[in-house]
Amino acid sequence: MLTRLFHRDAASSREKTADLTFHDEPCRLETKQSTPHIWTVGTLAYTTGGLAVLFFWLLWGDFAWSMRDRAVPSVVQLLLRKFEASDLLVGLLISSLPCAIAMILGPIISFKSDRHRGRMGRRIPYLLITTPVATLSMVGLAFSPSIGIQLNRLLGWHSPGLNASILIIFGLFWVMFEIASITANAVFGGLVNDVVPQAIVGRFFGLFRAFSLIAGMIFNYWLLGKAETHFVWIFLGIGALYGVGFTLMCLKVREGQYPRPVVATNDGGFFFATKTYFRECFGSSYYLCYFAAMALAAAAFGPVNLFSVFYATSVHMSVDTYGACLALTYGISLILSYPLGALADRFHPLRVSLVAMGLYSLVTLYGGLCAKGAWTFGAALVMHGVLSGTYFTASASIGQRLLPRERFAELGSAAGIIGSLVSIVLAPAMGLFLDHMGHVYRYTFIIGFALSLLALLSLLLLHGKFMTLGGPKRYVAPE
């Protein structure tokens, strides 16, 4: 039986007091001659075996999560095009709507999660509640065309049309799926921050990225080409995998003890909590700079990612070839994932992210000027995928290194608000622009190039502030 995660009782009152105090210093590796190495984070401590078990269950949950995230949006895009959805509607459903939901739910869930104290911890209860909802929504997406056909027949002359009826049902289950996904996403990063020692968090996210890429390779190489004809079984299979896999992770991973929150969620009611949230999140120029940098960096990859399937069809690239290009991208990124995590631990994730964003700007410039056919688009797509993946792997632990542990999820949700505002505007604007320009999807690279330059400048500004606060060796997160 696998070694169980365990809580270590303090050997003395002094040690106990230290364990119950959260701080942003790197977690330490104790080396005593008579005892094994102990990795600590908060009140949790792990032997090397215990740490391996923690990684196993978190990575198992991440694989289920990644299969869901890799499969569902891609299949939904193909089906939206099959049922004649416009680029504007695609932008609204795939990007703007989730961002709008995230702006409302993300801060509420994150604020409550940071301050929740329960038998199962402050993160896992929220993950357990949302898992069956996400699973049921995938079942609904699988049968949306059948339900839409029945709705069209039921409405008769009042029906908006067969495709419109299907898209309405599709939209309803898509909203349900996004609500569950966004709620879980708001606290999943917080769970990793609470249970993974900071000294190795970059390498953990490198492995995290590797499992996500393996999921992407499996889906894009073997399943994407069958998505339009076998979408029912794909949705049902991914739903079952996610429901079982993520539930197992929640039941096996154990959280530690947390200090009592400074402000309880019910002190003063909703308006007091809202005021507290905005004061704590947006009252610091440093965190505003962090939010802007993260939002612009994420936005830089959005134009190509959002319309890459349509780009492929516009240059007469088959779905199978498109899937093979993505699989190649994931294979290269898989090889790079752990070394990038180690580099982030060694040189700091902010610095590695700066290099990745600079290289990405060159790739988008090439794509905007040269990606006019299937081969040139394929080359640009692979380079885009590798370098965007490089950035996401390198930057995955930026929050863990820059944000205070006590308010990690809260500040993360604030970054999500800014990112959502950018995406809400960007996605439909891109859709309208492409509709107006006759669906010339090469412009997605040009817009991505402009956004990557803005992201690079914002990351440089953030790095300057980071160095002012002590840099890699003496940094202390502002309260």
pLDDT mean over 124-142: 95
Any idea what the CATH number is for the domain that residue 340 is in?
1.20.1250.20
Q: What Cα–Cα distance (Å) separates residue 236 from each residue in 66, 160, 176, 185, 240?
A: 15, 28, 16, 21, 6
Q: What Cα–Cα distance (Å) separates residue 230 from each residue in 69, 143, 233, 293?
A: 18, 12, 6, 40
Q: What is the pLDDT of residues 416-428, one digit of tens each?
A: 889 888 887 887 8
Q: Which span out of 52-66, 193-207, 255-269, 346-360 was modeled with the highest average pLDDT?
A: 346-360
Q: How is residue 79 written in tokens?
A: 């089906």
Q: Confirm if 373 and 323 have CB atoms less than 8 A apart.
A: no
pTM: 0.70
Task: Tell whether 256 is covered by a domain.
Answer: yes
Q: What is the pLDDT of residues 145-175, one digit of tens each?
A: 999 999 999 999 989 999 999 999 999 999 9
Task: Tell whether 265 is covered by a domain.
Answer: yes
Q: What is the pLDDT of residues 376-403, one digit of tens each?
A: 999 999 999 999 999 999 998 999 999 9
Question: Cβ neighbours of residue 166 under 8 Å, at least 6 residues apart?
Answer: 83, 144, 145, 148, 149, 152
Beta bridge partners of 450: none
Which pLDDT score, from 0 to 100, does residue 269 have?
Answer: 65
* Total of domains in the chain: 1
Task: Tell whether 27 is covered by a domain.
Answer: no
Task: Tell whether 423 is covered by a domain.
Answer: yes
Task: Tell whether 5 is covered by a domain.
Answer: no
Task: Tell whether 138 is covered by a domain.
Answer: yes
Expressed as residue numbers, the domain containing 79 is 46-474
Task: Tell whether 186 is covered by a domain.
Answer: yes
pLDDT mean over 45-65: 91
CA angle at 68 for the pair 119 and 353, rounded to the nearest 5°: 85
Please state, in angstroms and rounded to a whole number, the distance separating the CA atoms of residues 195 and 100: 30
Coil, strand or helix at 285 = helix
Task: Tell whether 30 is covered by a domain.
Answer: no
Give me the half-sphere count of Cα atoms (radius 13 Å) on the Cβ side of residue 444.
33
Which pLDDT score, from 0 to 100, does residue 6 have?
Answer: 35
Q: Which segments of 143-200 does DSSP mark as H helices, in order? A: 144-155, 162-195
pLDDT-based confidence at residue 13 (cuts at 50, 70, 90):
very low
For the chain, give percent helix, strand, coil, nearest 5. 80, 0, 20
Which pLDDT score, from 0 to 100, does residue 35 have?
Answer: 60
Residue 105: other Cβ atoms inside 10 A: 19
- The identity of residue 118, as a single letter, is G
Among 1-10, 108-117, 205-214, 320-329, the range scoring the smallest mean pLDDT is: 1-10
DSSP 355-401: HHHHHHHHHHHHHHHH--SHHHHHHHHHHHHHHHHHHHHHHTTHHHH
